[in-house]
Amino acid sequence: MYLFQRQRQQAVAEAERAVALAPTDAEGYLWLGWILNYVGRPEEGITKLEQAMRLNPQYPANYSLGLGQGYRVLGRSEEAIAAFEKALNCNPKLPAAYLGLAATYSEVGQEEEAQATATELLRIDPNFSLELWVQRIPFKDQTESERYVNALRKAGLK
């Protein structure tokens, strides 16, 4: 909750505390990885997410989703696409995975794939609103947030 309340330092501290208290619990690493991605430390975030995956080899879609987001932020597009697709294979109704995939396709100039992904998102969530989604994006770096939103607009989302 600290992350979405824009209390980023507190979010990192609490997630690190969770990992320290339960170092074999994959969920702690998962959330620490997610938080690190959003506070501008995606290299560390990816490392924590990979640790979570080792601790829970039967991980659900949100693990791959977090990994994809870290890769996308770093510009590692092929890895991001693979991670988002893996998340969608686990959960084909996960809106955030469609968003990450559409943004990544858009950023690498694969407009047809970006638009098809955006269309699929709107099929499973006809009430999707980019305007509402933007309010929830907790990136510390406003430039990164704008990059993400611009890519989603380019993919055809409103």
Compute and round to an integer the Cα radius of gyration of the chain: 15
Q: What is the pLDDT of residues 95-111, one digit of tens each?
A: 999 999 999 999 999 99
Give the domain CATH number at 131: 1.25.40.10
CA 22/CA 93 separation, integer angstroms: 31
b/e for 36-69, b at 16 or more Cβ within 10 A?
Answer: bbbbebbebbbbbbebbbebbeebebbbbbbbbb
Q: What is the pLDDT of residues 127-140, one digit of tens each?
A: 999 999 988 889 99
* Owning domain of residue 48: 8-154
| More confidently predicted of 135 and 16 | 16
Share of the chain above pLDDT 90, in %: 93
**Residue 5: per-residue pLDDT:** 86
Number of domains in the chain: 1
Count CB atoms within 10 A of the CB of residue 135: 9
Across the chain, mean pLDDT equals 96
Amino acid at residue number 118: A
Is 71 part of a structural domain of the chain? Answer: yes
CA 106/CA 110 separation, integer angstroms: 6
Is 3 part of a structural domain of the chain? Answer: no
Stretch 116-122: mean pLDDT: 98
CA 60/CA 63 separation, integer angstroms: 6
Is 150 part of a structural domain of the chain? Answer: yes
Q: What is the pLDDT of residues 22-69, one digit of tens each?
A: 999 999 999 999 999 999 999 999 999 999 999 999 999 999 999 999
Is 1 part of a structural domain of the chain? Answer: no
Residue 82 has pLDDT above 90, yes or no: yes
Residue 73 has pLDDT above 90, yes or no: yes
**Residue 135: per-residue pLDDT:** 87
Is 37 part of a structural domain of the chain? Answer: yes
User: Which residue matches tokens 């055809």?
Assistant: 156
Stretch 83-95: mean pLDDT: 97
Residue 1 has pLDDT above 90, yes or no: no
Is 35 part of a structural domain of the chain? Answer: yes
Share of the chain above pLDDT 70, in %: 100
Stretch 9-24: mean pLDDT: 97
Can you spell out the DSSP letters for 73-107?
A: HHT-HHHHHHHHHHHHHH-TT-HHHHHHHHHHHHH
